[in-house]
Structure 1
Amino acid sequence: MARRSPVVIDIGSGCTKMGFAGNIEPTFMIPTVVANSARKSNQSVHISQTPSAHGLADADFYIGDEAYARKDSPNYLLSSPVSKGRIDNWDDMERFLQQAIFRNLRCIPEEHDFLLTEPPFNTPENRELMAEMMFETFNVNGLYIGVQAVLALYAQWVCDVKLEMDEASSPNLTGLVVDSGDGLSHVIPVADGYVISSCIQELHMAGKHVTQFVHDMICDRGEPVPAEQRMEAARQIKEKHAYLCRDVVEEYQKFDQDPRKFKTLSNVYPKTKEEWTIQIGYERFLAPEIFFHPEIFVESMTTPLPQVVDNAISQCPIDYRRKLYSNIVLSGGSTAFQHFKERLQHDVQQIVNERLQKAELSTGRRPQDIEVCVHGSKQRKQQRYAAWLGGSLLAQEPTFLTMVKSKKEYEEVGPSCMRGSPVLG
């Protein structure tokens, strides 16, 4: 059987990225939601082994934007199979992948190897369940499951370093990945391709909290946005107009002095066809500020992201700390705000400098300076799919074939063959 380009799928809480190895951006970015028929929601769905249009037409469910379009329909129940980065509804995940593979990617799984991503703290049992689904249901040719943070580091190394160095050089897989998506944020130290799991920091703060903050400001001001469209309007404001500033008080003054900083958003209420327009103001810079001053906005969170980054590195083995400070990599859509990279680098550097000054005062000797360097993609939108990009670049390498678990291995050993995860490179 001919082996074609591997398929790369990065499953996230808010959005799933999918495409073929070798591409620099996903072919599809689809919201990770499923709309099941209310009548058949408790029944299992038959998964066709061939991408037959008739088989898909018979399946009474929708995914992505088509699912969102039916969220108000009494005939469908909206479900999010992934919560906080982890799959918690495997039946709906199976439905989602069915349409993603057969209808969107239009590929025959038997002819492709698949690279899937996983979040930190993913359990071996979940890896086995994923292997069972991919080999038994979709009959894929081969499967590799990579850690999102390691793949993001690999993408950063290939894009920023490998092109300027010897092709045979080993990838630099030591760094700290700040991964913030829709449901959850993680700060993940990686040493030589191995995740230092005991030092991972988890923040219950991510893109949906930024969206909710904008939504609440719209409501508090009494803006004329229909209730059904408020969350979507908040999401558009977050993605198109939000940015980070260095000083909030100073930014308030800039807005008061320059009306051009205020933006507008317009749309049409689908039921009445009436147009509405709102003004976008302080929420542009206040919403992303929750990562740096969470105590103002989220009662349960008091530690800002720069302090969390410093805490994570401080807990790592001392031999790796300088390397981690010098290679902080951003991944996930919630790190793609304008000036996010510069703000994080400035604040972490400030924390490190203050600690060095205290050490100098207590010992009388000046410690060696530590340079903090935060890396983000030259095109900020690429940070949204950094893990997918790493998977795409890895899957086109000749060494990838040695990392993939084949259908034959699965049949001989069973799902337990996926418990290990080879280090890249």
Structure 2
Amino acid sequence: MDDFARPALVIDCGSAFIKAGFAGEVSPAVRDPSTVPRAAGLEPGPPLVPVKHGIVQDWDAMEQLWLDVTYRRLHVYTSDQPVILTEPPQNSPESREQAAEVMFESLDVPALHIGVQAQLALYADYAARQAMGSQTSSASLTGLVVESGEGCTHVIPLVDGFLLASGTRSMPLGGAQLTRHIQALMRKGAAPPPPDQSLEIAVAVKERHCFVTASGVGPGAAPAATRSPAAYQTVHSRTGQPLRIQLGEERWRGPELFFDPGAFTKDAMPSLPDLIDDAIQACPIDTRRALYGNIVLSGGSTLFKGLARRLETEVQARVAARVQGRAPASHAAATGVEVHVVTHPMQHFGAWFGGSVLGASEAFREVAITRAAYMETGPTIVRNNVVHSDW
């Protein structure tokens, strides 16, 4: 049977959630926590977490999670399904080989492609803008991807679809750190949430009520957007009575960590605008204008209202200051370098959707590795990912 007779299965596993579904679909059919229950006979404890900060740490648990998603949740036999896996930009060749070994030798897949999440996210943006009728000039495979998930944030430049390793940057700040910061702020509030519900409530507040201010807000100050009071309502876990929590500064001080990480950690850490600017400046000079003009957001932690506008303003100010010798941000346009931060409807599942588009195209046959090729060469066949550039 043709190795590509069935639609490809696209799997994107992050530190918090695993997204899986079939190529050609708009959204993943499965979005489950990326955890695995402890097997019988093991010491009692929390579920196993195979992925931390985007990197697989427990391959036995990872294999079990893949099996659970494919057989139990999607009801497919992997021996019939070509697979697209995603990987972070800093994934090691050894980790890539291990993934191929599990896929071909344990799950018996007929074909496999391991795609870098940033490249797939840029592909998703390209496809989304093409679908919305954008001109080819505005939909490009050259851009800087800001990929922010649960465990960390990556800033990855790509030119014509190839990743520039010299400009790749990361920061250990993502959804989990924002949640803990919001939780700490709420505990200090006038009416803190019940201790056993504080984490759950902090996650809900982060996802439903947080936003990024147009500019930084000093201590004790509040942005104009908070003139309309907001509250979170739930049920008290012990009394069963309605629980209403008035929300305050946690709504904007949570996402503010992207711009002032020192509020969360004493370790030296650049802000996200600094990281973006530094990444582009590390790239060849003839690519920088295009990279500044196409900064693509991807991942659940980039969904805050106002984030794109604030990043655009602050990165533009840095460009202006460099070119004009500390010129005010209002004169940024005079530099001739326009900063544009892109959002699109597939932003939450950017890497997965990019894999879905790739898997439904003829290009998938060209980049995928078949079982026959793997059996002839072994795991080293996936050691080098061609998406990486030598620049």
Determine if the TM-score, normalized by the shorter chain, exceeds 0.5: yes
Match of 1:96 among 65, 78, 93: 65
Matches within 5 A, 1:235-314: 235-247=203-215, 248-249=217-218, 252=222, 254=224, 258=227, 260-269=228-237, 271-314=238-281
1:24 counterpart residue number:
26
Do residues 122 (structure 1) and 95 (structure 2) align?
Answer: no
Match of 2:13 among 11, 14, 17: 11
Runs of 4+ in structure 1 displaced over 6 angstroms?
Answer: none
- SS of 2:375's equivalent in the other structure is helix
The 2-side partners of 1:359 and 1:246 are apart by 21
SS at match of 1:35: coil
Q: Secondary structure at the match of 1:161?
A: helix
Partner SS, residue 303 of structure 1: coil
Deviations 1:263-311 (A, max 9, x none): 2332230x55344332112111111001012223322144211111111
Partner in structure 2 of residue 66 of structure 1: none
Task: Work out whether residues 143 and 404 of structure 1, in 8 Å CA contact, stay in contact via their aligned partners in 2.
Answer: yes
> Does structure 1 conserve the Cα–Cα contact (< 8 Å) formed by 2:213 and 2:223?
no
Identify the range of structure 1 (129-138 vs 247-256) with the bigger mean alpha-carbon deviation: 247-256
Structure 1 unaligned blocks of 5 or more? 42-74
Partner of 2:197: 229
Query: Residues 281, 391 of structure 1: CA spacing in aligned structure 2 closer, same or farther, 3 A cutoff?
Result: same
1:357/1:106 CA distance change after superposition, 3 Å:
same
Within-5 A mapping of 1:335-346: 335-346=302-313
Q: Is the 8 A contact 2:8 2:23 kept in 1?
A: yes
Maintained 8 Å contact 2:214/2:309: no
Residues 302, 110 of structure 1: alpha-carbon distance in 2 compared, 3 angstrom cutoff: closer
Q: Which residue of 2 aligns with 1:174?
A: 142
Q: In the alignment, is the contact (CA less than 8 A) between 1:187 and 1:312 conserved in 2?
A: yes
- Computed over aligned residues only, the root mean square deviation of the Cα atoms, in angstroms, reads 2.5
Of 114, 118, 122, 1:149 maps to: 118
- Offset of 1:6 from its aligned partner? 0.5
Give the counterpart letter for 2:80 in structure 1.
E
Q: Is the 8 A contact 2:233 2:242 kept in 1?
A: no
**TM-aligned CA deviation for residue 130 of structure 1:** 0.3
| SS of corresponding position for 1:153 | helix
Check whether the contact 1:265–1:280 (CA below 8 A) recurs between aligned residues: no
Amino acid at match of 2:299: G
Match of 1:36, SS state, is: coil
Equivalences for residues 64-213 of structure 1 within 5 A: 75-161=44-130, 164=133, 172-213=140-181
How far off its partner does 1:199 sit? 1.8
Superposed CA deviations along residues 62-90 of structure 1, whole A, max 9, x for unmatched, are xxxxxxxxxxxxx4532211011000110
Identity of aligned residues (%): 37
CA contact (8 A) 2:122 2:354 kept: yes
Contact 1:331 1:384 in 2 (8 A): yes
Determine if contact 1:186/1:202 at 8 Å carries over to the other structure: yes
Q: Does 1:398 align with 2:362?
A: yes
Change (3 A) 1:144 1:340: same
Which residue is equivalent to 1:53? none
Matches of 2:324 and 2:50 in 1, distance apart? 48
Distance in 1, matches of 2:182 and 2:327, equals 43
Q: CA deviation at 1:122?
A: 0.7
Relative to structure 1, the CA distance from residue 346 to residue 368 in structure 2 (aligned partners, 3 Å threshold; closer, same or farther) is closer
1:160 and 1:251 map into 2 onto residues whose CA distance is 38
Tell me the distance in 2 between the aligned counterparts of 1:176 and 1:17: 23
Q: Secondary structure at the match of 1:29?
A: strand
Q: Residue type of the partner of 1:92?
A: A
Deviations 1:125-159 (CA, angstroms, capped at 9, x unpaired): 11110001011111111100000000111111111
Q: Residue 24 of structure 1: SS of its match in structure 2?
A: coil
Could you tell me whether the CA contact under 8 Å between 1:181 and 1:332 is conserved in 2?
yes
Separation of aligned partners in 2, 1:412 and 1:302: 46
**Matched residue type, 1:150:** Q
Q: Contact (CA 8 Å) 1:245, 1:251: kept in 2 or not? A: no
| SS in structure 1 of the partner of residue 47 of structure 2 | strand
Name the count of aligned residue pairs.
Answer: 380
Pair 17,77 (structure 1): closer, same or farther in 2 beyond 3 Å: same
Q: With a CA cutoff of 8 Å and minimum separation of 6, indicate the structure with the bigger relative contact order.
A: 2
C-alpha distance 112-422 of structure 1, shift in aligned 2 (>3 A):
farther
TM-score, normalised by the number of residues in structure 1: 0.83
Residues 1:360 and 1:224: Cα distance change in structure 2 (over 3 Å): closer
**What is the CA–CA distance in structure 2 between the aligned matches of 1:253 and 1:292, rounded to whole Å?**
16
Give the CA deviation at 1:251.
6.6
- Is the 1:36–1:76 Cα contact (8 Å) retained in structure 2? yes
Q: Is the 8 A contact 1:35 1:76 kept in 2?
A: no
Query: For residue 207 of structure 1, what is the amino acid of its counterpart?
Result: G
Change in 2 beyond 3 A, CA 1:90/1:293? same
